[in-house]
A and B are shown apart, each in its own frame.
Chain A
Amino acid sequence: MSARPPVTPAGPAPVRIDVDHVSRWFGNVVAVNDVSFTVGPGITGLLGPNGAGKSTLLHVMSGFLKPSAGAVRIGDEPAWLNPGMFRRVGLVPEREATYGFLTGREFVRLAAKLQQLPDPEAAAARAIATVEMGEAQDRATGGYSKGMKQRIKVAAAIVHDPQVLVLDEPFNGMDPRQRLHLMDLLREMAAAGRTILFSSHILEEVERLADSVLVIVAGRLAASGNFREIRRLMTDRPHTFRIRSSNNRELGAAMLAQPSVSGIELDDGAMSVRVADFRGFTRALPKVARDRQVTLLEVAPSDESLESVFSYLVRR
């Protein structure tokens, strides 16, 4: 496989995305509710469960939805009613569809021509090499796998070396190697001074890639900032564990005396333990069990869904 061409540096002035008190509703449904933030150079992850309003927000930011209230600016330009902004913005939509009758090369070359690049052929070849689609470039995109479609969409979005790249769930359908490859590419683009915003509902993707994170829950900005800070909030939140042991009653009584435990309920061969201090609990449980000679049969978190994590962040 050929080596990927180096990412060219971004223009002299970094481009920021300013989202100012943006709301968007569809009839009676509020999809995005009074959200404000600024995204600068580097990689920002837009994290939230399915249906949280991520796609709506990305569509507003890329000029494909009119905000019901508020405004979005890309650098010094408005996003709404301004196709000219796509000179410096690249967009990777979530929907899988491409022009299935075009080959990968034709698809990316069309993008280069529509960007009015001086040498569309060379720009397309470079973008295709960047996403490592050289071998499949002469096949019709209709026959591509989901991961290949994602990569050719990325190639079309970066063909004009945009200063801002917006990607809606870009890792969907990619295999682990393709994910790592795209992550490396986005890191390189960010290091070259570009502003990159991607959405995901998978915590680990955002954790591995994003310098900063925006957490969207039920249309509201639940948290924003450095990923480590938000991760700490997520780890330190109250947890509930389901525990089965050789003697639930004795273990429960001993654990209730621990400051890290805020409550215990016994039921049908197991107990539910509410934990106020995650680290303290994980240190205390094996020690207490050993001291009481109780065998732990099962320790499982019972509220680890992303939704419950996000709900906690919203309540804070």
Chain B
Amino acid sequence: MNADIVKLTLRQLAGRRRTAFMVLVALLPAALAVAFRAGGEAGPAEWTSTRLLGGMVVTMLLPLASLVFGTAILGSEVEDGTAVYLLARPIPRREILLSKLGVAWLLTAAYVVPSAAIGGAIAFQGAEGWGPMLAGFVVAILAGSLAYCTVFAFLSLLTGRAFIAGLLYVFIWEGLVTGLFAGTRLLSIRHAALGLAGFVGDASPDVFDPDLGGPTAVFILALATAVAGWLAVRKLQRFEIGESG
């Protein structure tokens, strides 16, 4: 990690409109949890783990935040040409990627973990053994955000339309295709994160029943992070300025 690149990236992302938008979205789970409590609904453990944390936080908030930060750490610099000021320096490209990825991961976690923790703590009240369940989701969010950010950072080096490509992956592939064909869930970060949450939280199947088991989930998340990270470093090492004149 390079502290100067970390600081630069934090300043780059701080002033972006999408970052401000993320703050608003991050408030949603807590708002829904309050509404759930106020409504006096039954079954807080199942609703919180399956609907709020599994359904909303991991399915929507986590990939969206990862997409915003993962594609922004390199994509905008590649687009406007400022990437040259980092790349024309005697620093290993791996160090540049790790520093920027660290920022994306940190910011994603900083938005999603408190949002899940506060929303979960409100909605879980009254449920039995909710502490480990919430901890399971926090671990899943941390691992899932690293995998998502790495994949989206790699996408931003591949195409100028990484944000749209990422949205297609999240909503078409993970949201639609994996619902139709069970086998495709092995290629879904979301399903792996849910599997990890269930495994770490030791959830009872009638409360929260993810499709993937713990070891499979861990393997998929580790593999996605490692492969996307390796590809991103390789792409950055072979970075080309795409213009002639």
Contact = CB atoms under 8 A, between A and B. Distances in A.
A54 B243 CA distance: 11
Contact of B82 (A51, A55, A94, A98): A98
Which 3 A-B pairs rank lowest in CB-CB distance, beginning with the nearest?
A95-B81, A114-B89, A55-B245
Given A97-B81, A110-B8, 15 more contacts: A55-B243, A55-B244, A56-B245, A64-B84, A64-B88, A65-B241, A81-B237, A83-B93, A89-B88, A95-B80, A99-B85, A101-B15, A102-B8, A116-B90, A156-B85
Contacts of B80: 95, 97
B17 interface: no
A156 B88 CA distance: 11
In terms of DSSP, what is the predominant structure of the interface of chain B?
loop
Interface in B57-101: 80-82, 84-93
B245 A54 contact: yes
Nearest to A84: B90
Interface of B: 2, 4-5, 8, 11-12, 15, 80-82, 84-93, 237-241, 243-245
A85 B88 CA distance: 9
B8 A83 contact: no
Interface in A153-172: 156
Contacts of B2: 114
Nearest to A85: B90
B241 A59 contact: yes
B121 to A, nearest CB: 36
A196 to B, nearest CB: 16
Contacts, number: 87
A99 B93 contact: no
A99 B8 contact: yes
- Measured as residues with beta carbon below 8 angstroms from the partner, the interface class of chain A is 35 or more
Contacts of A53: 244-245
A26 B240 CA distance: 12
Taking each of A52, A53, A54, A114, which has the highest tally of chain B beta carbons within 10 Å of its own beta carbon? A114
Nearest to A62: B88
21 contacts: A51-B244, A53-B245, A55-B244, A62-B88, A64-B87, A64-B239, A81-B237, A81-B238, A83-B87, A83-B89, A86-B89, A93-B81, A94-B245, A95-B80, A99-B8, A101-B12, A102-B8, A110-B8, A114-B91, A115-B89, A115-B90
Interface in A53-112: 53-56, 59, 62, 64-66, 81, 83-87, 89, 91, 93-95, 97-99, 101-102, 107, 110-111
A1 interface: no
B85 A65 contact: no
Contacts of B82: 97-99
A34 B241 CA distance: 20
Most buried by A among B4, B5, B240, B244: B244
A86 B88 contact: yes
A62 B243 CA distance: 14
Contacts of A21: none
B201 to A, nearest CB: 41
A65 B89 contact: no
Given A93-B84, A95-B81, A111-B85, A56 B244 contact: yes
A31 interface: yes
Contacts of B84: 64, 91, 93, 95
